[in-house]
């Protein structure tokens, strides 16, 4: 056993030197990134004086779309509500009539509510929709003092007949 002590001491010293070298390399890499970015021009968003610049995949307040004839695309199938992990979508479906046609399908969403106090903006509702009726818009101003105002109704999210986004979506 006494013969192994010098061998173990050499191994421990080698491990210690290796760890110090790895730590030094990591610190040098980190400081290199810091020094490289320290002298770049600062990027500042001048909101609300200028429009906000979103990334293409930004997920904001939902938009309910219309088809080319101006009818609602949502057919009240409940797939978006079923896919929602936070259970924040509430839908009531109704039957279309020839006199009062709301959507191209047999049914339409009479009530379509999203509770943004519960929504996690995961995008599962968008992926589940077979008619591409719901997408994420670029609306982002959800701050409020009243939690009840975070329940958005169909009228607030519905695209205007000419393809114009709702007022909450314009940025």
Task: Return the CATH number at 90.
Answer: 3.30.70.3270
Q: Are residues 68 and 39 in the same domain?
A: no
What is the number of alpha carbons within 13 Å of residue 34 lying toward its C-beta? 6
In a domain, 135, yes or no: yes
Q: Are residues 38 and 66 in the same domain?
A: no
pLDDT of residue 126: 96
In a domain, 53, yes or no: no
Q: Can you give the residue range of the structural domain that contains 36?
A: 1-43
Q: Are residues 131 and 92 in the same domain?
A: yes
In a domain, 127, yes or no: yes
3-state DSSP helix/strand/coil percent for the chain, to nearest 5? 30, 15, 55
Which among 73, 58, 52 is positioned nearest to 137, based on CA atoms?
A: 58
Q: Are residues 117 and 152 in the same domain?
A: yes
Task: Please state, rounded to an integer, the average pLDDT across all residues of the chain.
Answer: 87
What's the pLDDT tens digit per position in 79-102? 999 999 999 999 999 999 888 899
Q: Are residues 101 and 23 in the same domain?
A: no
Per cent of the chain over pLDDT 70 is 89
Q: Are residues 110 and 139 in the same domain?
A: yes
What's the pLDDT tens digit per position in 51-88? 888 888 899 999 999 999 889 999 999 999 999 999 99
Is this model's pTM higher than 0.75 or not? no
Q: Are residues 20 and 101 in the same domain?
A: no
In a domain, 18, yes or no: yes
Q: Are residues 17 and 66 in the same domain?
A: no
The count of structural domains within the chain is: 2
DSSP string of 80-129, one letter each residue? HHHH-TT--EEEEEEE--SSS--BSSSEEEEEEEEETTT-----HHHHH-
């Amino acid at each position: 056993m006494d013969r192994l002590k010098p061998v173990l001491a050499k191994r421990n010293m080698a491990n210690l030197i290796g760890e110090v070298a790895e730590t030094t390399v990591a610190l040098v890499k980190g400081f290199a990134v810091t020094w490289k970015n320290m002298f770049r021009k600062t990027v500042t968003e001048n909101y609300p004086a200028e429009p906000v610049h979103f990334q293409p995949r930004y997920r904001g307040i939902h938009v309910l779309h219309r088809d080319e004839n101006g009818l609602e695309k949502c057919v009240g199938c409940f797939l978006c509500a079923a896919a929602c992990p936070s259970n924040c979508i509430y839908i009531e479906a109704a039957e279309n009539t020839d006199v009062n046609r709301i959507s191209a399908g047999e049914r339409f969403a009479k009530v379509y509510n999203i509770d943004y106090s519960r929504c996690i903006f995961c995008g599962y509702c968008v992926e589940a929709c077979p008619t591409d009726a719901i997408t994420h818009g670029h609306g982002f101003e959800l701050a409020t003092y009243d939690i009840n105002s975070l329940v958005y109704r169909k009228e607030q999210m519905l695209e205007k007949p000419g393809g114009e986004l709702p007022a909450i979506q314009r940025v």
